Amino acid sequence: MLDRMAAALAGLRDADQYRSLINPSGIALSSNDYLGLASHPRLKEIVSQAAMEDARVASTGSRLLTGNHERWEQLEVEFARFARAEAALYFPSGYLANVGLLSSILKPQDTVFSDAANHASLIDGIRLSGARRVIFPHLDLDYLEEALRGASGQGERIIVVESIFSMEGDRAPLRDLAALCGRFDAYLIIDEAHATGVETAHERSGCVLARVHTCGKAMASMGAFVVGSQTLREFLVNHARPFIFSTALPPYCAAHVRESLRLVIEAETQRTRLWELSKYLRARFRDAGMNIGASESHIIPLIVGSNQNALRHAGALSAAGFAIRAIRPPTVPAGSARLRFSVNANLSTLDLDRVLDVVSAI
Ligand SMILES: Cc1ncc(COP(=O)(O)O)c(C=O)c1O
């Protein structure tokens, strides 16, 4: 077994796909702390205060056994209000929320229409469910429409997308997708990981069965909420295996997420700044003739093709004092290795100008 593992690792090295852990240092260019709230003093204060107040700092069990706490239930009510949904259920990570949601609500007779750029957690949840899968080319609604038309069988039809795609920075046309759902009697599931806190949460139309809001990105905390109807929440409590069979996070984490939610609600200035900086960087890249795909958000992929090229760009930027890593297959399709710039509200246009200088020099 170990020889087999060593051979696989050697293969990754040969393909410039070997990954290793580093402690990032320098000016953050790939952090998901979009609003720059991760070191906010109020969060630190709240976490220590809650840890001191609570009788215990461990949750001691699954939410269904000894791990529940009123802090979690209060938080779920508040988050549902924020997300303009009837109910919310918290999972210890976005990965677990997607896997728990999709693996429990989909049945083998259902057909799932999944965008080709969907996050691994969505893919894994769909795979675990055993439902029939149609992977449609990224945002190709004509293809999707044909596939919906051709889908037969007894089960339900469910379309799964991200509202802002994590590696492309483009947006799913949610209105058009809702219209397709209406025409083909389908449901929509939306992963809002990269929109949560950055954009106002909208009440979604009737065909939207569930939305997943992660808290480890703009919300500067951890975990994720699945939001939807009360029935969905109760179903997940009873069927979502990552929820049922996993130890709950400690209650002070609920205090952290709650304070993060408050900060996010107040962070209008940071949201505006994030929007302006992102627009600036997108324009500078495009003016310089660089390929940033169809990005329309704070996630800006500089697509450079080969793994080697991506590593070269990341190396040059890190030598210039920036924290950024190359994104390579299998995270993105082969031949589309990239630097994924995620803008955050703490950057300045001067920082972004320097980025342009370094990249242009290459
Ligand atoms: C689109 C998307 N969904 C889900 C997740 C998983 O969230 P978490 O990091 O909280 O597990 C991520 C995280 O990277 C993501 O980008």
Burial pattern 312-350, b for ≥16 Cβ within 10 A else e, equals ebbeebbebebbbbbbbeebbeeebbbbbbbbbbbbeee
What is the atom index within ligand 1 of the atom nearest the CA of 216?
10
Is 115 an active-site residue? no
Residues enclosing ligand 1, CB less than 6 A?
A: 93-95, 98, 119, 121, 162, 166, 191, 193, 214, 216, 224
In the annotation, is 166 catalytic?
yes
Q: Which two tokens stand for residue 345?
A: 């509200």
- Per the annotation, the verdict on 217 as an active-site residue is yes
Protein residue whose Cα sits closest to atom 8 of ligand 1: 94
Q: Considering only CA atoms, which residue is closest to atom 4 of ligand 1?
A: 94
Report which of 173, 110, 103 is spatially closest to residue 144, judged by C-alpha positions.
173
SS3 67: coil
Cβ atoms of residues 203 and 181 within 8 Å: no
CB-side neighbour CA atoms (13 Å) of 284: 19
Alpha helices for 54-173 (secondary structure H): 70-82, 94-105, 120-129, 141-150
Cβ count near 199 (within 10 Å): 17
pTM higher than 0.75:
yes
Q: At what angle do helices 174-184 and 141-150 cross, to 10 degrees?
A: 10
| Centre of ligand 1 from the C-alpha of residue 128, in Å | 17
Q: Identify the pLDDT of residue 16.
A: 87
- Active-site position among 33, 110, 115, 162: 162
Q: Which has the closest alpha carbon to 136: 127, 128, 145?
A: 145
Q: Which of 59, 104, 114, 166 is catalytic?
A: 166
In this prediction, residue 222 carries a pLDDT of: 98
Bond from prior residue into 330 cis (ω within 30 degrees of 0): yes
- Strand runs labelled E in the chain: 27-28, 87-91, 111-115, 132-136, 157-162, 187-191, 208-214, 224-228, 299-305, 322-323, 326-327, 337-342
Q: What is the pLDDT of residue 204?
A: 65
The dihedral through the CA atoms of 228, 229, 232, 236 has a sign that is positive
What is the mean pLDDT for each group of 10 consecutive residues in the chain (362 residues)? 98 92 91 97 98 96 97 98 96 98 97 97 98 98 97 91 97 96 97 95 80 98 98 98 98 98 98 98 98 98 95 95 93 93 98 97 92
Decide if 29 contacts 323 (C-beta within 8 A). Answer: yes
- Tell me what pLDDT residue 200 has: 77
Ligand 1 atom nearest the C-alpha of 165 is 1
The pLDDT, as a whole number, for residue 242 is 98
pLDDT for residue 137: 98
- Which residue's alpha carbon is nearest to atom 10 within ligand 1? 94
